[in-house]
């Protein structure tokens, strides 16, 4: 049986964000259209990859469609807040980007991660249509929130808590 499909075309608001303290944060992708709010859970690495992917996608669009104007964005973090309540529809397994040339909208497709015993056709899907400016702001905000996390160990690259961490490159000694 096909999974649930939620489509917001176009979104009035789209953002990434998190709830919780560094090391215990839950990351979200959230969009709204009117009173409808859709939230899905992401991993921190997915937020970072999404931000980089959006930037690359927008550069590629500019190359393929020479007449496209640069999106005008005055990034302000306070506009990128998550809306409450956050009732996530699912945890994201895959994210894809597309372009609706007729309407000049970027399409973000998020697909549910499934347990191995379930058929991929059962996965729920969220399709979000946003302007290039909105997506650029999502990318800028994604970089910003990922950068607010725990510092990384210069030896192993793993996050360092306030108590330190056992670094494998230092044979388990605290950093």
Is the pLDDT score of 44 beyond 80?
yes
Average pLDDT over residues 47-54: 96
Query: In sequence order, what DSSP letters do the residues of 77-114 get, joined into one string?
Result: GGGGPPPSP--EEEEEEEEEEEEETTTTEEEEEEEE--
| Cα(55)–Cα(73) distance, integer angstroms | 13
Is 40:88 a contact under the CB 8 Å cutoff?
Answer: yes
Architecture in CATH for domain 5-170 = 2-Layer Sandwich (3.30)
Residue 10: per-residue pLDDT: 96
Per-residue pLDDT of 60-113, as tens digits, reads 999 998 888 888 877 787 889 999 888 999 999 999 999 999 999 999 999 999
* Mean pLDDT of the residues in the chain: 88
Q: Which residues pair with 15 in a beta bridge?
A: 30
| 77 closest CA partner among 157, 4, 147, 152 | 147
CA distances from 1 to 4, 20, 88, 92, 119 (A): 9, 35, 21, 19, 9
Q: Cα angle at 136 between 134 and 137, to 5 degrees?
A: 65
Q: Return the higher-pLDDT residue of 159 and 47.
A: 47
How far is C-alpha 103 from the chain's CA centre? 22
Is the pLDDT score of 165 beyond 70?
no
Average pLDDT over residues 136-148: 92
Domain ranges of the chain: 5-170
Is the pLDDT score of 175 beyond 70?
no
The label of the residue with tokens 């302000």 reads 76
Q: Return the higher-pLDDT residue of 170 and 42.
A: 42
């Amino acid at each position: 049986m096909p999974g649930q499909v939620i489509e917001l075309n176009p979104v009035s608001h789209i953002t990434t964000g998190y709830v919780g303290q560094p090391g215990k944060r839950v990351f979200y992708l959230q969009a709204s259209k009117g009173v409808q709010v859709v939230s899905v859970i992401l991993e921190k690495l997915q937020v970072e990859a999404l931000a980089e992917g959006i930037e690359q996608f927008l550069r590629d669009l500019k190359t393929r469609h020479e007449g496209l104007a640069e999106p005008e964005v005055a990034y302000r973090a306070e506009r990128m807040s998550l809306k409450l309540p956050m009732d996530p529809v699912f945890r994201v397994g895959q994210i894809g980007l597309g372009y609706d040339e007729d309407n000049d909208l970027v399409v973000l497709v998020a697909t549910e991660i499934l347990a191995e015993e379930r058929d991929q056709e059962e996965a729920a899907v969220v399709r979000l249509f946003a302007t290039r400016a909105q997506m650029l702001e999502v990318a800028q905000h994604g970089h910003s929130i990922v950068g607010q996390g725990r510092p990384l160990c210069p030896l192993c690259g793993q996050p360092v808590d306030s108590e330190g961490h056992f670094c494998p490159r230092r044979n388990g000694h605290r950093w």
